Amino acid sequence: MSVVNKMLNDLEQRESSEVTQANYQPPAKKPVPVRLLIIILVGAIAIGAALFWPVESSQPVVQSPVVQPINQAVNNQAANNNSAAVAQPQAVPAAQDSSSPVEPSRLNPVPTPAQSMQAANNAPAELPDPRQAASPTQTDAVQASAQQGEITAPPESTKIQPAKPAVPVIRSSTDPNKMALKAQIADAIERNNSNEAIRLLRTLILQQPDNINAKKRLAALYFSEGRSEDAQRLLQDTLSQTPADSSVRLMYARLMAQKNEQELAYYTLKEADDYPPANIELLGFRASIAQQMGKLDAALSDYALLVSLDARNAKWWLGQAVVADKQGERKLAIESYREAYALQSLDANIQRFIAQRLQSLTGVAP
């Protein structure tokens, strides 16, 4: 029993000692010295200055080739103009509140000069907005140049390039409506619908007054329909507008020859000499009309020009031979007959006629 009492006494003593030991009181808080606060504030200012100062001073200023000033007045005015064109950089706060500590994750990293140059080279060239203020680095560069008495061109990135003129859009003259109209004309001619073709051609000429081919086709339709007066007026008007067009002149002369107006046809063709070079087809028709009218000298002159321009055409040699034969120029006639016969490109009846004339003039068959 005494042993149990002893154990109980020991347990009570142990509990009382544990309660006494667990009853801790916080020590009295000592006031922070003023000197420590001053040291912390000065340190914060120093850290802020060290972090923000390289942003303005570490970036290199790339200047364009320097143009030496003419006089000091030019320097001052250039510096004033450049300074007025840019905005003042924002001031960097000198100190921060000690109650708000600086967090490195919120500060912009300071790029090194090599990184700045690489970023400038890799960045795409964009046209800057003239209403935006210049960067602090550009402002410092302009002010430094003005103080040194130098006129420097602004960096390439700040130059405002003039807008390139818009390239004119060249549209094709092929109008779908006109193409459809031409297709309708061709279809009407193929179906022998002359009235419809004439109506469509007149519409096309109204739309294209300079379309010579359309006018010639319309004149041909007029003539085929017995409207020779309409064809003559149309060709006369066209020839007066384009006198150098030998095809219109030849078509008009042929129309006059069809109407038995040989003289008008001949002098219409004669006026072509004022608009060289000579057209072979026109010269051939003019020589033929001159021969029919008895103008043998004019015909022989045209045939001589034709054989010099187109010596492989037997028709011109035959024409020259016939005219020379009529004029009694025996030697020229024989030479021309022989040339025409040697080409062997004429009809068989004409070939026999040439052989007979050569045998008659020379006494020998060719």
Q: Model confidence over 184-201: pLDDT tens digits?
A: 999 999 999 999 999 999
Question: Per the structure block, which two tokens stand in for 297?
Answer: 């000298």
The predicted structure's pLDDT at residue 54: 52
CA atoms of 74 and 252, how far apart (whole Å): 77
Q: What is the pTM of this model?
A: 0.52
Work out the number of other CB atoms within 10 angstroms of the CB of residue 45: 14
Check residues 107 and 37 and name the one with the higher pLDDT: 37
CB–CB of 257/288 below 8 Å? no
pLDDT tens-digit readout, 159-182: 455 555 454 443 344 566 778 999
292 C-beta neighbours (distance < 10 Å), count:
12
Whole-number pLDDT of residue 172: 40
CA distance 65 to 158: 15
Residue 329 has a pLDDT of 96
What residue spans of the chain are helical by DSSP H?
A: 2-22, 34-57, 72-85, 113-122, 136-147, 176-190, 194-207, 212-224, 228-241, 246-258, 262-270, 280-292, 296-309, 314-326, 330-343, 348-362
What does the alpha-carbon distance between residue 327 and residue 346 come to, in Å, rounded to a whole number? Answer: 23
pLDDT at 42: 82
Polymer length in residues for the chain: 366
Percent residues over pLDDT 90 in the chain: 50
Round the average pLDDT of the chain to a whole number and report it. Answer: 74
Q: Which residue has better confidence, 172 or 218?
A: 218
Q: Find the range with the poorest average confidence among 6-15, 34-43, 208-217, 255-264.
A: 6-15
Per-residue pLDDT band for 133 (boundaries 50, 70, 90) equals very low
**Which tokens go with 212?**
């010579």
Distance between CA atoms of residues 270 and 233, nearest Å: 20
